[in-house]
Amino acid sequence: MEVTYPITPLQRIQTRNHLIARVQAISFPERRRLKEGKEIQSSSPLIKLIPYIDGAGVLRVTGRLNNSPISSNIKHP
């Protein structure tokens, strides 16, 4: 990613998503399996939350908001 000054809003969003994904990779070993397209173990505390990796590489979970008509970014900030 090329850095220009001042930092653009897109660069800020990309950087934030990258940092979130890095912290999640450290905190949630299940993330690797999801990124590889594999299922996570049934003993994982995340299993009930129906986790997935979004287009930016960030670990997200679904829930009752999944059926609402609002955008994904609002459902999963």
pTM of the predicted protein model: 0.72
Which residue range(s) make up the domain with 44? 9-75
> Is 90 exceeded by the pLDDT of residue 19?
yes
Q: Does 22 score more than 90 pLDDT?
A: yes
Q: What is the pLDDT of residue 76?
A: 66
> How many distinct structural domains can be found in the chain?
1
CA atoms 47, 35, 73, 1: torsion sign: positive
**Per-residue pLDDT for 1 more than 70?**
no
In a domain, 1, yes or no: no
Strand 51-53 versus strand 59-61 pairing type: antiparallel
CA-based end-to-end distance of the chain:
23
> Tens of pLDDT along 42-73?
999 999 888 999 999 999 988 767 777 888 77
Position 21 in a domain: yes
